């Protein structure tokens, strides 16, 4: 078994605002929400 599997490589700076889920789920969490 591998000791580490990277599933999502986070960004060291949030270069994009999060559009909250209440109104705007289509782009929740940036470029790759789904």
Partner 1 sequence: MTNGNKFKVSRYILDIPYDVRDKKYIILFNTLSRSLVAVSEKTWKKIKNNNLKEIPAEIFNELVNLGFLLPEELEEREVARTRINLSKYNPTHMGMFVNMTSRCNLACPYCYQDLRKNLNINRDLTVENWNKIMKLIFKKEDILKKVSVVFFGGEPLLNYTVLKKAVLDLDSIKNMGIKSTMAIITNGTLFSKQIGQELSPYIDSIQITLNGMKSTHNKMRPYPDGRGTFDVILKNLVDNIDQYTHKIVIRSNINESNIDSVKSLLKYLKEEYDLHRLLRGVSFEYIFPTQTSICIGESYKLSQHISKLLIEIYTHAVDLGYSIGNPLIFGPCMASHAFSFAVDERLNVYKCPGFLYSTPDGYIDKEGNLIITSSRWYSLINFEPPCALTCKFGPICYGGCKWMATASKSQISCNIEHLRNYNAFLTLYIRSRYQKLLEGEQ
The DSSP secondary-structure symbol of 15 reads -
Q: Which residue do the tokens 């209440």 mark?
A: 22
DSSP H/E element including 22: helix 21-24
| Residue 14: CB minimum distance to partner 1, A | 3
Contacts (CB under 8 A) with partner 1, residues 1-30: 1-29
| Residue 23: CB minimum distance to partner 1, A | 5
Distance CA 27, CA 2 (A): 32
| Residue 2: CB minimum distance to partner 1, A | 7
Report the interface residues with partner 1, using CB under 8 A: 1-29, 31, 33-34
């Amino acid at each position: 078994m591998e000791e580490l599997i990277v599933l999502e490589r986070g960004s060291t700076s949030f270069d994009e605002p999060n559009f909250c889920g209440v109104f705007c789920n289509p782009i929740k969490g940036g470029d790759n929400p789904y």
